[in-house]
C-alpha cells in the first residue's frame, strides 16, 4: 500500500487521473438522487404559481431573513405532524427558488401557515409581535406597513422564475405590476384580472387593512397566507393514508401504485 501510493504520487498523469476518479465519486453521490426524482417529487396537477404580490412578499421574506428563525418544512415526526399538519412534500416547494425548508427554528414552522390566522392578526403581529404574543422574541416589522411596495420590476422577477421552470405565461409576466396592485385592492378591474389569470382561489384582499395603497405589508401577508396552500397534495395524501390502523394495508398498495405511476 505505501509503495503503491509512493508510485502514484510520483506520476503526474496517474495522480491527476486518480484525483478525477475520486472526485467523481463525490459528484456521483450528489447527482445520483436526481435519477429517481420522479419518485421523490410527487405529482401535483392542481399546483398553482405564486402571484406577483405573493412573490414580492416572498422576496421580502428573504430580504428580512425570516428563514433564519422560521423553517418551512414539517418533518416526518409525530409531534410536528400533530402540531403543524401533514408533513411537507417535495412537490410543495417545486416553484420555490430557492427553497426555504430550513433546519433551524427559533419561531414556529410556517409551511402550513396560510389561512391559519386572520390578516388582521398577521398585520398586528408583524407590527409588534408582543401585542398579540406577549412571550415572543420576534423583532418588529412595522415599517413594512409604511413602505410602498416596489412593483415596477415584478415582471422581471416573474421572468426570472419562468427561466428556471415556473410556468408563468407571457400575460402574467406582462401584467405583473398591475396584478400585484389588483390583488391588494378588491373590487377593482385589476382584482378581477388577477382571479382570471391566477384562479378563483386566489386571495384578493386588502391584506394590511388599507385598500388605498399597496405596501410591503400587503405583499408579505399575502405570501404568508398562501403558505401550504398552493396545492392540496399533502392533505390528499394524508386522507389517502388515513389516520386509522386498519387502512394501513390499503395505504401500502396505494403508495406503491403512486410510485409505479409516479414517473
Binding residues vs other proteins (CB under 8 A):
2, 32-33, 35-36, 38-39, 76-78, 81-83, 85, 87, 112, 115-121, 124-125, 131-134, 235, 241-245, 248, 251-252, 255, 263
Q: Which residues pair with 148 in a beta bridge?
A: 215
Least distance from C-beta 185 to other proteins, angstroms? Answer: 17
- C-beta of 47 vs 132, nearer to other proteins: 132
Report the C-alpha gap between 90 and 53 in whole angstroms. Answer: 23
- C-beta of 31 vs 68, nearer to other proteins: 31
3-state secondary structure of 215: strand
- C-beta of 8 vs 77, nearer to other proteins: 77
Question: E strand or H helix at 74, and its extent?
Answer: none
Least distance from C-beta 64 to other proteins, angstroms? Answer: 20
Least distance from C-beta 82 to other proteins, angstroms? Answer: 7
Report the C-alpha gap between 259 and 247 in whole angstroms. Answer: 18
Other C-beta atoms within 10 Å of 136: how many?
13
3-state secondary structure of 194: helix
88 phi-psi bin (left φ>0, alpha ψ -120 to 50, beta other):
beta
Cβ atoms of 54 and 113 closer than 8 Å: no
Least distance from C-beta 262 to other proteins, angstroms? Answer: 10
Report the C-alpha gap between 59 and 52 in whole angstroms. Answer: 10
- C-beta of 192 vs 251, nearer to other proteins: 251
Least distance from C-beta 26 to other proteins, angstroms? Answer: 14
- C-beta of 4 vs 35, nearer to other proteins: 35
Amino acid at each position: 500500500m505505501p509503495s503503491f501510493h509512493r508510485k502514484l504520487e510520483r506520476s503526474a498523469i496517474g495522480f491527476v487521473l486518480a484525483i478525477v476518479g475520486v472526485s467523481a465519486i463525490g459528484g456521483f453521490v450528489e447527482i445520483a438522487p436526481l435519477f429517481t426524482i420522479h419518485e421523490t417529487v410527487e405529482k401535483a396537477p392542481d399546483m398553482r404559481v405564486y402571484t406577483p404580490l405573493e412573490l414580492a412578499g416572498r422576496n421580502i421574506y428573504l430580504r428580512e431573513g425570516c428563514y433564519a428563525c422560521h423553517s418551512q418544512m414539517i418533518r416526518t415526526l409525530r409531534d410536528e405532524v400533530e402540531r403543524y399538519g401533514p408533513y411537507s412534500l417535495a412537490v410543495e416547494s417545486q416553484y420555490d427558488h430557492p427553497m426555504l425548508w430550513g433546519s433551524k427554528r427559533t419561531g414556529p414552522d410556517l409551511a402550513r401557515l396560510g389561512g391559519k390566522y386572520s390578516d388582521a392578526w398577521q398585520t398586528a403581529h408583524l407590527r409588534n409581535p408582543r401585542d398579540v404574543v406577549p412571550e415572543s422574541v420576534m423583532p418588529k416589522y412595522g415599517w413594512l406597513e409604511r413602505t410602498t411596495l416596489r412593483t415596477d420590476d415584478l415582471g422581471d422577477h416573474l421572468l426570472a422564475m419562468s427561466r428556471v421552470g415556473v410556468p408563468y405565461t407571457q400575460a402574467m409576466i406582462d401584467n405583473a405590476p398591475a396584478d400585484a396592485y389588483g390583488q391588494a385592492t378588491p373590487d377593482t378591474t385589476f382584482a378581477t384580472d388577477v382571479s382570471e389569470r391566477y384562479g378563483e382561489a386566489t386571495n384578493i384582499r386588502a391584506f394590511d387593512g388599507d385598500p388605498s395603497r399597496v405596501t410591503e405589508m400587503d405583499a408579505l401577508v399575502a405570501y404568508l397566507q398562501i403558505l401550504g396552500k398552493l396545492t392540496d397534495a399533502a392533505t390528499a395524501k394524508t386522507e389517502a393514508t388515513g389516520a386509522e390502523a386498519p387502512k394501513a394495508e390499503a395505504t401500502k398498495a396505494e403508495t406503491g401504485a403512486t410510485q409505479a405511476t409516479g414517473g
